[in-house]
Structure 1
């Protein structure tokens, strides 16, 4: 079986899904003769538009937003060392929809406000583990979303 060139391997990865520069460097490193060779290839892919930090951030947000809060997505974006303005813009968009997304996650899992304090704590921990903000968690667990929906119906 023929070995893929470094560029071929990079394009294969990018055809499957968006990758960050950091992630692609890590995957290509073992197959390159030097780190400079990988960096030159990544520069070329960026100049051709095959590698984009903005598209990668959008991809992560699209994949994770329905299940996770802004803090969790922000942590994932930080691991990929994206430019600050791109990461900040993506996270701000998530913060604007945080309550609705948290409420949808909570509704799928629990469906009704907790009647006991231990259950409220359990629901809060569940949402906190998914990276939602404390204020949003308090509102969701109190059942604010249920009142908002019934008022608008």
Structure 2
């Protein structure tokens, strides 16, 4: 694939949504030489069409309502975003409202306090799988049972 075709492919990807540099690299490598791909990525970054920080902020914004800090951070790391950019995006987009977001999610899904230990464990697993910490899960479920989160 020529350099122009590679650029056009990269622009089509970037026009649809924000991408991390690593995500876009993975999409372009099968279609061009590694040096050509890096040149295209460098050029897009130079033109500010590709930004890991901007990608991280958009990603956090899109997932904040449904997922906790830990899960969002893990997904960003899998997409090749550096830890510093992840921390900045999480802090700027989420702030310190982890408990409120977990409560809102819990209310949408359950909206009833667990009646027994089995139900408490089910609700705790749900929140934990969504990336909320054990402390937040316990606060949401009000530590009704002695079961660990």
Query: TM-score, normalized by length of structure 2?
Result: 0.88
CA contact (8 A) 2:18 2:55 kept: yes
Query: TM-score, normalized by length of structure 1?
Result: 0.86
Higher helix proportion, which one?
1
Q: Give the 3-state SS of the residue equivalent to 2:50 in structure 1.
A: coil
Tell me the equivalent position of 2:14.
14
Tell me the equivalent position of 2:79.
80
With over 3 angstroms needed to count, the CA separation of the structure-2 counterparts of 1:134 and 1:95, relative to structure 1, is farther
CA contact (8 A) 1:61 1:90 kept: yes
1:56 is displaced (CA, Å) by 0.3
| Rounded Cα–Cα distance in structure 2 between residues aligned with 1:141 and 1:84 | 31
Tell me the equivalent position of 2:147.
none
**Unaligned 5+ runs, structure 1:** 144-153
User: 2:94 aligned with 1:97, yes or no?
Assistant: no
Aligned CA RMSD, in angstroms, stands at: 1.5
User: 2:28 aligned with 1:28, yes or no?
Assistant: yes
Aligned pairs (5 A) from 1:4-153: 5-32=5-32, 34-93=33-92, 94=94, 96-142=96-142
